[in-house]
Amino acid sequence: MDKNRENKLNLSRGLAFAYRVGDLVEERIGQGIEKSGLEAKLLRVGEMAYPHVWYRIPVEKGISGDGSEYHIYLKSARLDRLVVFFSGGGVAWNAYTAARPVTGGKVAAGLPHFYWNNLRPFTQIMNINIGITETGNNANPFDDWSFVIITYATGDFHVGDNDYSFTDEETGETGTVRFHGHANFRAAMEIAKEYFPSPDKLLIAGDSAGAFAVPALTPEVIGEWYPECEDITCLSDSGQLLYDGWRDTARDIWRADSEIADAITSPNITCDWYRRLYAVAGDRVRYLYACSARDYLLSAYYNDVANREFTSDAEIQETFYEQLCVMLEQLRSIAPGFSFFINEFPNLMVIKRGMKGGTAHTCVRERIFYLPGPDGVSMASWLFDAVSGKMYDSGMGLIKT
């Protein structure tokens, strides 16, 4: 056997082993959550929710990307203050990405994986009891707020309304993804309205894929569900991914509502949706954006968009940084009162193959939520100050002007 062939065989065996180990670890973690009693308590719509307890609520009208059941998380608190939180979990923008949902095996093996297509015990650890969603931690200024977590398992930035049948161009694999994020959102808001009919303060927030959903769906949240609320703040944490085809994806693949799809006029879908939101809401809303300077994961997504390489390195992270500098200028030109939290917390996700260096992906639902950033201010403090009416930037010394 020649050396090249032997190396390829060894690599193939190594990837296969990593794949099996990754799936096994994910399965064991899920089983541990179920057996240990750490899984959120099941609550049926209409049943009483006790304060400061996380509940898992099955949504009859909801469906995950692979056709399985859909649920949300809910926590009530003593104050009439509500967080509507859009969870992240990747994105599928074409047939290639639709054919590659996330599994533990793909993550461990470094194979392309673009979005979560179902909810299971393992995914709970991405949704509750960390960062802003943590309970019983005096360092969390939002512990006394009620929460509705709009979980994410559809790969469509929460805006889709389509059963998308695809054929993978590389493997010939066929399948269907239920891009039903918008219906899931609306069903979740019906539940939110039942449990929290008239909050005095409203924070609409999201991280990663959920960060894109914030400007896309806030017009419905404040126009249809909470039109009487006068104290509203929006936060997008880590929502940058430039792509020339977003409008086609939203219109033809996700089949998003026409107002949402037609608002996309540039490669920066986040700016386009904030432009639409500001046209609707103006200064009724406080606008916040957070991101790390060289996000290892968002840069990997951009690398795949640009070069079909789902990896991150110093070069593509620098490209991401340059795009971020431009994006912040664009956001402030849309809404002059936009405030930013920029950080350079390091990427600690060493288990992700092909994701070298860079900075952290998201902050609001991570332990780093409490850590001081470049100006000595934590996101927890910055965000609580903002919802209290004290708006300012943090970490802008990291951004070149």
Write the pLDDT tens digit of every residue in 109-131: 567 889 999 998 888 888 999 99
> Tokens for 93?
């923008």
Q: Which domain holds residue 382?
A: 3-398
Q: Which of 364, 334, 332, 366 is nearest to 349 (CA)?
A: 366
At residue 78 the predicted structure's pLDDT band, cuts being 50, 70 and 90, is: confident
Burial class (CB in 10 A: 0-12, 13-18, 19+), 225: middle
Q: What is the DSSP string of 362-383?
A: --TTSGGGGSB-TTS-BHHHHH
∠ CA 198-362-377, rounded to 5° = 80
Separation between Cα atoms, residue 311 and residue 292, nearest integer Å: 17
User: What sign for the dihedral angle of Cα 164, 253, 72, 116?
Assistant: positive
Helix, strand, coil percentages (3-state) for the chain, rounded to 5, are 40, 20, 40
- Nearest-angstrom CA–CA distance, 304 and 209: 16
Q: Tokens 């056997």 belong to which residue?
A: 1
Give the 3-state secondary structure of residue 58: strand
pLDDT surpassing 80 at residue 354: no
Q: Three-state SS for 181?
A: helix
Considering Cα of 121, then 124, then 130, then 136, what sign does the dihedral take? negative
Q: What pLDDT shows up at residue 97?
A: 96
Separation between Cα atoms, residue 128 and residue 365, nearest integer Å = 8
Give the mean pLDDT of the chain. 90
pLDDT digits (tens, 9 = 90+) for 363-381: 999 999 999 999 999 999 9
Q: Which helix (H) or strand (E) covers residue 149, if one does? A: strand 146-150
**% of the chain at pLDDT higher than 90:** 81
Of 170, 190, 132, nearest to 341 by C-alpha is 132
**pLDDT per residue over 223-260, tens digit each?**
999 999 999 999 999 999 999 999 999 999 999 999 99
| More confident call, 28 vs 273 | 273
Nearest Cα residue to 33 out of 118, 124, 107, 116: 124
Total number of domains constituting the chain = 1
Q: What is the mean pLDDT of residues 339-350?
A: 91
User: At residue 263, does pLDDT exceed 90?
Assistant: yes
pTM value is 0.91
**pLDDT for position 356:** 85
pLDDT digits (tens, 9 = 90+) for 192-220: 999 999 999 999 999 999 999 999 999 99
